[in-house]
């Protein structure tokens, strides 16, 4: 298992020096870099960002809004995605005009006007994944044998997990799925909010919640706004799938991971932070040059960063 001083040490490398493991680039970044070689960057350019000349701005906006990484978000989220790496003067105005003119958004998105008559807001959780809400999206066309999506939302960070299923599961199957694919990563929650579907009113589900120490909370009958966070996530999920798979609805299963990634790496209106930031303490870098912005010198520093994110998120939710 360990090298011994009595044995010759083989100093040959596993990978050739010219091989780089895990590195990736975006063609749009390469184009902008190339264009910057012949122009001077403005003095107002933020650190570690690339100035985008006018002839490339539409391509950058297309990447930031319509790529699989974003799934056609609104103005604020598109601006967030673009400014992770790029900058130019008055870019907020350009982003707003681009999103307003997006034909896919115009065809696939519905109004997000808040409904009237909401119930009393639920208590604010103390940490990520301590209180979750679950729901099912049904009526989807068959895609790789799947017709249903189980949606799970962390009520603190707003992080979401999507699970494609062939049909509505039983209470036992739902419990097994959550244990196998969710609780193993984030631990058991203190409460689980759901509607009054047959899975969640079954005796097995109540016994399961008692076993893991979670309080089963049910929404009010005929009042889906009681689980408003999940209902909104379901709406965003359906919109994202329509935007990515509208031309081929039976391919939505392949788009599901990208919708989840976009949701979790774009800012939440509730906290002003991305769900990924709140849970893990950093924003996943899309470019190699951003790696140093998320690096930490020690595990203790990482813990402090996470706690700082939790404090900011909870203050925004209160």
Domains located in the chain, CATH noted:
28-108 (1.10.340.70), 131-279 (3.30.420.10)
State both tokens at 101.
Answer: 């003119």
Strand partners, 136: 150
What tokens were used for 14?
């596993």
Backbone angles phi, psi at 96, to 5 degrees: -60, -45
Task: Quote the pLDDT of residue 203.
Answer: 96
The pTM score is: 0.83
d(C-alpha 173, C-alpha 198), whole Å: 12
pLDDT of residue 193: 94
The pLDDT, as a whole number, for residue 2 is 43
**DSSP-based three-state secondary structure for 117:** coil
Tokens 């990447």 identify what position? 63
Closest to 279 (Cα-Cα) out of 306, 316, 317: 306
Amino acid 224: pLDDT: 54
Neighbours of 176 (CB within 10 A): 13
pLDDT in tens, 132-184: 999 999 999 999 999 999 999 999 999 999 999 999 999 999 999 999 999 99
How many angstroms separate the CA atoms of 153 and 276, rounded? Answer: 13
pLDDT of residue 317: 87
Residues of the chain with pLDDT under 50: 1-4, 116-118
pLDDT of residue 72: 93
């Amino acid at each position: 298992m360990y090298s011994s001083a009595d044995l010759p040490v083989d100093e040959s490398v596993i990978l050739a020096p010219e091989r780089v493991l895990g590195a990736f680039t975006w063609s749009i970044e390469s184009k902008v870099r190339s264009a910057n070689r012949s122009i001077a960057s403005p003095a107002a350019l933020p650190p570690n960002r690339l100035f985008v000349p006018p002839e490339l701005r539409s391509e950058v906006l297309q990447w930031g809004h319509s790529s699989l990484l974003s799934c056609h978000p609104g103005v604020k989220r598109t601006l967030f995605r673009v400014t992770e790496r790029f900058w130019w003067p008055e870019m907020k105005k350009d982003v707003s005009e681009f999103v307003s003119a997006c034909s896919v958004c115009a065809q696939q998105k519905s109004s997000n006007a808040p409904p009237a008559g909401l119930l009393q807001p639920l208590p604010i959780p103390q940490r990520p994944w301590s209180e979750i809400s679950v729901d099912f999206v049904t009526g989807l066309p068959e895609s790789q044998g799947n017709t249903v999506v189980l949606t799970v939302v962390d009520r603190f960070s707003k992080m979401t997990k999507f699970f494609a299923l062939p049909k509505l599961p039983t209470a036992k199957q739902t419990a097994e799925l959550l244990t196998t694919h969710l609780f193993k990563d984030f631990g058991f929650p203190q409460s689980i909010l759901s509607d009054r579907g047959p899975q969640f009113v079954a005796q097995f589900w109540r016994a399961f919640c008692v076993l893991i120490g979670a309080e089963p909370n049910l929404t009010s009958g005929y009042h889906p706004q009681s689980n408003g966070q999940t209902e909104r996530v379901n709406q965003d999920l359906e919109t994202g799938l329509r935007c990515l798979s509208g031309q081929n609805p039976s391919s939505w299963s392949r788009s599901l991971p990208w919708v989840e990634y976009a949701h979790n790496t774009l800012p939440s209106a509730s906290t002003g932070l991305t769900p990924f930031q709140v849970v893990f303490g950093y924003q996943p870098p899309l470019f190699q040059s951003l790696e140093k912005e998320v690096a930490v010198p020690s595990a203790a520093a990482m813990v402090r960063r996470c706690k700082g994110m939790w404090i900011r998120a909870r203050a925004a939710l209160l």
